[in-house]
Amino acid sequence: MAKKIGWLGFFLRFLGALAIVFLTYNPTSFSYVSWILPEGNLSSWHFGPIEALAGVLLLIGWVIFLRATQRSLGNLGLILAIALVAVLAWLFIDAGLLKADSASAVTWIVLICTAAVMAIGMSWSHIRRAMSGQVDVDDIG
């Protein structure tokens, strides 16, 4: 019998998604994009074996999360998860809990929403099993 995910499991998946998203890009100078493009343009391009290794590791993380999200939610579920997270962000902005007064703030909101959708996708099969008793299995073929 499969183990239940619980809030801790969802939170850990969300932290993993945040790590992948923020390590890939964020508005600070600490991200993969700012590392290989330190001045933000192609003329400052810097790429060697360490950058390639980090890029491949990030790509592996993205593929794992995105593939699991797509397989778990499907197209309609993915659209609904994006809509849910976007409307929640809008609600928080409208209530004054989030500030979207600069491009940097909007970027952070979009990055967090992206991680939230990936965490929902990584967790959805567990959530659906808890709610309905149905188990998802991958196609064998």
Looking at residue 1, its pLDDT comes to 46
Looking at residue 42, its pLDDT comes to 72
What residues contact 13, with CB distance under 8 A and at least 6 apart?
118, 119, 122, 123
Looking at residue 24, its pLDDT comes to 97
DSSP H or E segment with residue 13: helix 6-24
pLDDT per residue of the chain (141 residues) written in tens, 0 to 9: 456 677 888 899 999 999 999 999 999 989 999 999 887 677 778 789 999 999 999 999 999 999 999 998 999 999 999 999 999 999 999 999 989 999 999 999 999 999 999 999 988 876 666 666 666 565 444
Looking at residue 32, its pLDDT comes to 94
Residue 125 CB neighbour total at 10 angstroms: 19
Looking at residue 125, its pLDDT comes to 72
